Structure 1
Amino acid sequence: MAVSDYITGVQHIGIPSIDLDKTIAFYKSIGFEQAGLFHNGENRCAFMRLGNLTIETWEGDPTNPEAGAINHVSLNTTDVDKAFAAAKEQGLNLVNTEIQSIPTFWDKGIRFFNILGPNHETIEFCQIL
């Protein structure tokens, strides 16, 4: 069993926003469409899509106004439970001790977990339910 058995490609790239409305307007101005707008508690989260590239941008978290502002890269996961088990078996550097969920994203929610890469980059494994 390997975590790569449950990955189909990049799902989205996560970039926190200082001003979500301005961020949405910017991405629309360069050709992206708004694929989704969700609430996670009091904060809003938008998914902006251009072709096969999706950017998740949200309010409420600290931002880095310099190079390195990307928060995470998310991989599309076909079976998050099996991917999590495989990540543990492979000894990957797990950020989460259990699978996380956000029920308000997309139609039926998402389930995900994060690992750290060798440069402390966050890689999310996400299944849209």
Structure 2
Amino acid sequence: MALIDTFATGLQHIGIPTSNMAATSDFWAKLGFSLKGEFNNDGSLVRFFEFHGLVIETWESAEVNPHAGTINHISLNATDIENAFKTLKAHGFEIIEDQIKELPFWDNGIRYFNVLGPNGEIVEFCKIN
């Protein structure tokens, strides 16, 4: 059994920042993704697009890499966010946040934290409440 089997069920979404939300929204819509959700995060527009279970999160940001490799994070669906945080910390993973964070996304909000990989990749563990 893998370390995360007790608190994660698989891919939740892939996070990609944008400097042009209109163009980005048009791009995903033209590909066939549907708008799943739209939120405001401290003045930044955040949108989620879905195609057959694959979810893309995009948000307005000045920090966009215009080259291949623009993915900001891969999010895993966490069923037990407290256990995930405690277990990964105990196993020596580099957790970016000092505690589990919250955002008012979806109907009842989300709780999440991020782990930094050896190449600078970010893996988010996210629980939709």
Output the TM-score relative to the length of structure 1.
0.95
Q: Which whole-Å CA distance do the structure 1 matches of 2:62 and 2:20 have between them?
A: 11
Q: Which whole-Å CA distance do the structure 2 matches of 1:52 and 1:42 have between them?
A: 28
The corresponding residue for 1:113 is 113
Q: Which whole-Å CA distance do the structure 1 matches of 2:90 and 2:62 have between them?
A: 31
Q: Which whole-Å CA distance do the structure 1 matches of 2:38 and 2:93 have between them?
A: 32
Stretches of structure 1 lacking an aligned partner (at least 5 in a row): none
Output the TM-score relative to the length of structure 2.
0.95
Q: Which amino acid aligns with 2:60?
A: E
Equivalent residues in 2 for 1:59-74, closer than 5 Å: 59-74=60-75
Q: Deviation per CA, 1:33-58, whole angstroms, max 9, x where unpaired?
A: 00001111211100000001100000
Structure 1 segments, 4+ long, off by >6 Å, are none
**How many corresponding residue pairs?**
128
Shift of 1:4: 3.3
Equivalent residues in 2 for 1:15-54, closer than 5 Å: 15-54=16-55
The corresponding residue for 1:57 is 58
Q: Which amino acid aligns with 2:127?
A: Q
Q: Which whole-Å CA distance do the structure 2 matches of 1:101 and 1:23 have between them?
A: 25
Q: Deviation per CA, 1:51-76, whole angstroms, max 9, x where unpaired?
A: 01100000034100001100000000
Question: RMSD across aligned C-alpha pairs, in angstroms?
Answer: 1.3
The corresponding residue for 1:97 is 98
Q: Which amino acid aligns with 2:119?
A: N
Q: Secondary structure at the match of 1:83?
A: helix
